[in-house]
Amino acid sequence: MCSSKRASQYHKVETPPPQPFLKSLKNTLNEILFADDPFREIRNEPKTSKKIELGLRHVFPILEWARGYNLGYLKSDVISGITIASLAIPQGISYAQLANLPPILGLYSSLVPPLVYAIMGSSRDLAVGTVAVASLLTGAMLGKEVNAVENPKLYLHLAFTATFFAGLMQTCLGILRLGFVVEILSHAAIVGFMGGAATVVCLQQLKGLLGLTHFTHSTDIVSVLRSIFSQSHMWKWESGVLGCCFLIFLLTTKFISKKRPKLFWISAMSPLVSVIFGSLFMYFLHHHFHGIQYIGELKKGINPPSITHLVFTPPYVTLALKIGIITGVIALAEGIAVGRSFAMYKNYNIDGNKEMIAFGVMNILGSFSSCYLTTGPFSRSAVNYNAGCKTAVSNVVMAIAVAVTLLFLTPLFFYTPLVVLSSIIIAAMLGLVDYEAALHLWRLDKFDFFVCLSAYLGVVFGTIEIGLILSVGISVMRLVLFVGRPKIYVMGNIQNTEIFRNIEHYPQAVTLSSLLILHVDGPIYFANSSYLRDRIGRWIDEEEEKLSKSGEVSLQYIVLDMSAVGNIDTSGISMLEEVNKILGRRELKLVIANPGAEVMKKLSKSNFIESIGNERIYLTVAEAVAACNFMLHTAKPDSPVPEFNNV
């Protein structure tokens, strides 16, 4: 292959023209914050009035889809809206219990937020409501500082305040276009975290199932099991039996719907059916079964205002802020992932940052009207999607159904047994322990599995926060490790071509005598420059050892393939200078192949190129090799012609 070209035949490696600092800063920030260029349409529009219209539509997507709305859509939306309402009412009450909040809050939270989302949200399939994990987290974190039984008012007000802060943070993230913050939760971390949270939530339900009144405030498996077994004399069998019956019923309906997706409504309706049957059962038999607790009175009437109840005074404000931020991020991650996946099915786009603003505003307004944290739960949205919803009007229908319930039907829930709510939660949670996804991770990527497992074990044996911190920490560590320990490998030539590849990946690739071609598989930064220096040294040592053993021609050139070096910092440049000096002392020459734009810019600014000379920088590995071979020839006309040697 590599014929000995003359130097003039090689392609020049360009140094990009210098960019003014402010311009390159603007470009970088644009790439980070406006990667998807959301305002392109508005910017390209010449007329101002049209611009304003487009801007309004950008903020309130309802203006976009309301124009094309028709009766057919309405029919679909009413059906799906009623379906999700039948799920939302019992689920709302259950999850509020999980957060140690009055059950009525679950209903309130299904009234205001869905209406706000219908105006501002861009997903057509998302059904808004409270979620189990955020509820549990609120309950666990708040319960550590304030006793919900002794001080119910403060507890309630802090829950509103936390919701307010969560909404505020979500709105800010969206407006500042910092939506990528949520990306720090990798898929693997979410699988583990959700599975762990679901396990913990199920464990908490044992309280309701066994009819216990005293229970630990901790959420870890050890404390919960100890609390349960130390009270074995308090277990109420009636409660347990009733709960198991409903659980079996709910799981059966789930199984049926899973097997036959057309029958989705069976599992969607089953919680409401359970509540109705459970309530009837207790209404007639509550004299016989004293062991079974029931909800009791629910206040009639729609959401009372709560804006004056927000607590902004220390010491509680920091607690509320902390809870708001943590639950807000988790709620965002779930809501956006759910919105995205359904948008994928129906082939439309969702702007994560816009969604964040919608979620944020809905939670802020929610916190003003006695709601706690809401997002787009997966289960409810899936039912909505299966029921054939067309637009966010299904959320409006659900809100109306909930309002009717609040106004007229709350007395019907008086005798609803708590154990039914526990069964509903357990049935919903079991689907979240996604062991198949975990197995898939194990097969595909051991590190991701490790992240997932850490999140799971952290949540189950520690607290939800520990699991969260562990999984985020390990995920970020992976990124740092990628940069900190880039792969560096020897390249060989694939015969009869000008292609050079990793000789471990392509064993048929042959190395060349007198030349060592090294490929650096990552950016060169402070975190890896010492490593790269040592590793390059070691590759050379090993190669020379091998050559001296086999008595071959000694090394002359080290070609560094920079194709995959996306960037370099000052530490990296110092490292290259150092390597160049060390090689010089060993009578080896450093040759650079294919430096990228960013790398080339910095190398020329730092005078590295001047110091090693332009004839040491080539556009491709093949040209670098050809040039080295040419120089070897002309330098020592009597030396043997370099040939390939099989590895």
348 binds a second copy (CB under 8 A): no
Size of the residue set binding a second copy (CB under 8 A):
87
x/- mask, a second copy, residues 301-340, rule CB under 8 A, reads ----------------------------------------
Residues 82-141 that bind a second copy (CB under 8 A): none
Cα–Cα separations (whole angstroms), residue 179 to 173, 187, 332:
6, 16, 9
Q: Measured from the CB atom, is 56 or 444 closer to a second copy? A: 444
> Tokens at residue 514, please?
């007198």
482 binds a second copy (CB under 8 A): yes
Nearest distance, CB of residue 8 and a second copy, angstroms: 15
Nearest distance, CB of residue 235 and a second copy, angstroms: 42
Q: Cα 435–437–441 angle (5° rounding)?
A: 115
Nearest distance, CB of residue 608 and a second copy, angstroms: 10
Cβ neighbours for 646, distance < 8 A, ≥ 6 positions apart: 510
Residues 531-570 that bind a second copy (CB under 8 A): 531, 534-535, 537-538, 563-564, 566-567, 569-570
Using CA atoms, how far apart are residues 224 and 264, in angstroms rounded to an integer?
34
Q: Measured from the CB atom, is 570 or 639 closer to a second copy? A: 570
Nearest in space to 455 (alpha carbons), one of 123, 216, 190, 141: 190
Nearest in space to 326 (alpha carbons), one of 187, 136, 474: 136
Residues 349-388 that bind a second copy (CB under 8 A): 352
> Tokens at residue 498, please?
């000008």
526 binds a second copy (CB under 8 A): yes
Nearest distance, CB of residue 536 and a second copy, angstroms: 11
Nearest in space to 488 (alpha carbons), one of 530, 520, 515: 520
Residues 276-295 that bind a second copy (CB under 8 A): none
Nearest in space to 170 (alpha carbons), one of 31, 305, 326, 308: 326
Q: Measured from the CB atom, is 151 or 570 closer to a second copy? A: 570
Q: Segment contacting a second copy (CB under 8 A): 18-26, 78-86, 167-175, 628-636? A: 18-26
480 binds a second copy (CB under 8 A): yes
Interacting residue with a second copy among 523, 560, 630, 632 (CB under 8 A): 523
Residues 222-241 that bind a second copy (CB under 8 A): none
Using CA atoms, how far apart are residues 112 and 108, in angstroms rounded to an integer?
7
Interacting residue with a second copy among 277, 478, 547, 553 (CB under 8 A): 478
x/- mask, a second copy, residues 593-622, rule CB under 8 A, reads ---xxx-x-x--xx------------xx--
244 binds a second copy (CB under 8 A): no
Nearest distance, CB of residue 284 and a second copy, angstroms: 51
Contact between residue 353 and residue 157 where contact means Cβ atoms under 8 Å apart: no
Q: Measured from the CB atom, is 185 or 401 closer to a second copy? A: 185
Nearest distance, CB of residue 542 and a second copy, angstroms: 9
- Is beta strand 589-593 parallel, antiparallel or unpaired with respect to 617-618? parallel
Q: Measured from the CB atom, is 47 or 549 closer to a second copy? A: 549
x/- mask, a second copy, residues 487-516, rule CB under 8 A, reads x------x--xxx-xx-xxx----------
Interacting residue with a second copy among 1, 7, 16, 248 (CB under 8 A): 16
Sequence length of the chain is 647
- Give the dihedral sign, CA 383/73/361/400: negative
Spacing of C-alpha 460 from chain mean position: 20
Q: Measured from the CB atom, is 13 or 515 closer to a second copy? A: 13
> Tokens at residue 549, please?
């053993």
Interacting residue with a second copy among 187, 254, 286, 322 (CB under 8 A): 187
Helix (H, G, I), strand (E, B) or coil at 174: helix
Residues 196-215 that bind a second copy (CB under 8 A): none
Residues 579-598 that bind a second copy (CB under 8 A): 581-582, 585, 596-598
51 binds a second copy (CB under 8 A): no
Q: Measured from the CB atom, is 511 or 528 closer to a second copy? A: 528
Contact between residue 73 and residue 394 where contact means Cβ atoms under 8 Å apart: no
Cβ neighbours for 18, distance < 8 A, ≥ 6 positions apart: 601
Interacting residue with a second copy among 178, 184, 266, 466 (CB under 8 A): 184
Q: Measured from the CB atom, is 222 or 647 closer to a second copy? A: 647
Helix (H, G, I), strand (E, B) or coil at 359: helix
Contact between residue 196 and residue 455 where contact means Cβ atoms under 8 Å apart: yes
- Give the dihedral sign, CA 432/434/435/436: positive
Q: Measured from the CB atom, is 188 or 326 closer to a second copy? A: 188
63 binds a second copy (CB under 8 A): no
The pair phi, psi for residue 522, each rounded to 5°, is 170, 175
Instruction: Output the CA torsion 109→110→111→114 (10° steps).
Output: 110
Q: Measured from the CB atom, is 134 or 191 closer to a second copy? A: 191
Nearest distance, CB of residue 184 and a second copy, angstroms: 7
Q: Segment contacting a second copy (CB under 8 A): 31-39, 219-227, 367-375, 549-557? A: 31-39
> What secondary structure does DSSP assign to 396-425, as a single string?
HHHHHHHHHIIIIIGGGGTT-BHHHHHHHH
Q: Does the bond joining 315 to the residue before it have cis omega, within 30 degrees of 0?
A: yes
Burial class of 110 by CB neighbour count within 10 A (0 to 12, 13 to 18, 19+): buried
Residues 385-444 that bind a second copy (CB under 8 A): 440-441, 443-444
Q: Measured from the CB atom, is 425 or 472 closer to a second copy? A: 472
Q: Measured from the CB atom, is 151 or 530 closer to a second copy? A: 530
